[in-house]
Amino acid sequence: MLAIREMARRRLQFGLVTGVVTLIAYLVLMVTGLGLGLNQAAGTALLALDGDYLAYSDRSNLSVIRSQLSEAQATDIATAPGVAASAPIGYVAAAIEFRPGEVDTGALLGIDLGAIAEPAVVEGRALTETDTRGLLVDRTWVSLTGTGIGDTLQVPVGLAFEPFEIVGVVDEGSFFFQPAMFMLRDTWRQISYRAVDQATPFASVVLLQGESLEGATGAGWEIVTKDTAFWNIEGVSAQQGTVDALRYMGLLIGAMVIGVFFYVITLQKVSLLGVLKAIGASGTYLTTQGLLQVFLVSLTGTALAAGLAVLTKATVLSSDAIPIAFTTGAILSSSVAVVVAGVVGALLSMRQISSIDPIIAMQQQQ
């Protein structure tokens, strides 16, 4: 009652600090959302692949761009102990002209029909053997560019652009910050290497299903988990590091703001708290009241911030052009982090409260 009454009667002070906490929590949430969004842009298509492991050529440094595997290696990998299923995948980035003069970069992924890397089609139809100039294109990109099934995209094959048809839409996200576009692996070989013969790489990587394949190696190849593959996508670890640093900074600022605020209001109340202790309030009672306030301020601030963040995403950032993404889990964990930061920040004040000597009640002169 004491904690709540004080907040209700000192609305200005508590309102202001709640407002500041809201802004800080909002910042933390948006940064978290940006991190999630960037990660999604970096590799949802990789994470969405229906397998647990990826094989790379061993001198690629786990870069899909630099990895090149021969047919012999792909066979070698496919027959490695523990492998249940495998699918070679080719990757190349290409400029895609989706309307005369309008060009975007797409992540072209060459796949084999019927293999585990073939994506599920959500609209239109799947690729067939005869679709040498057919594409399955990511849903988000289709809506962003206003293209659709049956539309023609100009894709560079050698020096010339050739017409490719969107035969289906998939929901696989993006890869290397580019929309995923799936094609037959033979077509990918043509685009990537022009001449296709024995010396042409067979795939960039091989997707694998199986048991405990991590760390397996062979002639010029190595296997890692999909997770490791994801964190090795160029830029992902660095951007996650940046996002984490910003989050921790936000949490630190939150802890300090709450800490300083409660320190100051505790200082203002030292003599009152002394009187309350003198008339029989225990230190536990008073710190509980203090913690309740800290908890309410940080919880209210975080709840407002979560609402604000979701609202921002739904309005200002509704186009998918800005990669901010929220998941319930991310919002919850960030909210908990802000509340914990607030409580940690206020611990000093709680110590201060419990160390007040009730004798001061008798030492105040009018």
Partner 1 sequence: MALLELTDITKTFGAGDQRVEALRGVSMAVEAGEMVALVGPSGSGKSTLLAIIGALLTPTAGSMLIGGRDVATFDAGARTRYRRDQVGFVFQASNLVPFLTARENLLLVGEFGGADKGALRRRADELLKELGLTEAAGQAANRLSGGQRQRVAIARALMRDPLLILVDEPTASLDTTRGAQVVEALREEIHGRHKACVMVTHDLEMAARADRVLEIRDGLLRAHGAPVV
Nearer to partner 1, 9 or 321 (CB): 9
Nearer to partner 1, 251 or 286 (CB): 286
Record the tokens describing residue 187, joined without a space.
């077509």
279, 315, 319, 328: which one binds partner 1 (CB under 8 A): 279
**β-bridge mates for residue 92, sequence order:** 108
Quick check: 11 binds partner 1 (CB under 8 A)? no
Q: In 200-282, where does DSSP find H-type helix?
A: 226-231, 236-268, 270-278
Quick check: 16 binds partner 1 (CB under 8 A)? no
Three-class DSSP category at 212: coil
Quick check: 282 binds partner 1 (CB under 8 A)? yes
Record the tokens describing residue 174, joined without a space.
């993006």
Nearer to partner 1, 220 or 283 (CB): 283
Quick check: 212 binds partner 1 (CB under 8 A)? no
Binding segment (CB under 8 A) for partner 1, from list 3-11, 58-66, 79-87, 127-135:
3-11
CA dihedral 293, 298, 301, 304 (to 10 degrees): -110
Three-class DSSP category at 134: strand
DSSP strands (E only) in the chain: 53-57, 83-99, 102-111, 121-124, 134-138, 152-157, 160-170, 174-175, 178-184, 205-210, 217-218, 221-225
160, 280, 315, 355: which one binds partner 1 (CB under 8 A): 280
Q: With contact defined as beta carbons under 8 Å apart, do 194 and 37 qualify?
A: no
Quick check: 6 binds partner 1 (CB under 8 A)? yes
Nearer to partner 1, 237 or 271 (CB): 271
Binding segment (CB under 8 A) for partner 1, from list 4-12, 32-40, 190-198, 203-211:
4-12
Q: How far is the CB of 292 from partner 1 (least distance, A)?
A: 12
Give the CA radius of gyration of the chain: 29
113, 272, 311, 336: which one binds partner 1 (CB under 8 A): 272
Residues that bind partner 1 (CB under 8 A): 1-2, 5-6, 9-10, 271-272, 275-282, 285, 358-359, 361-366
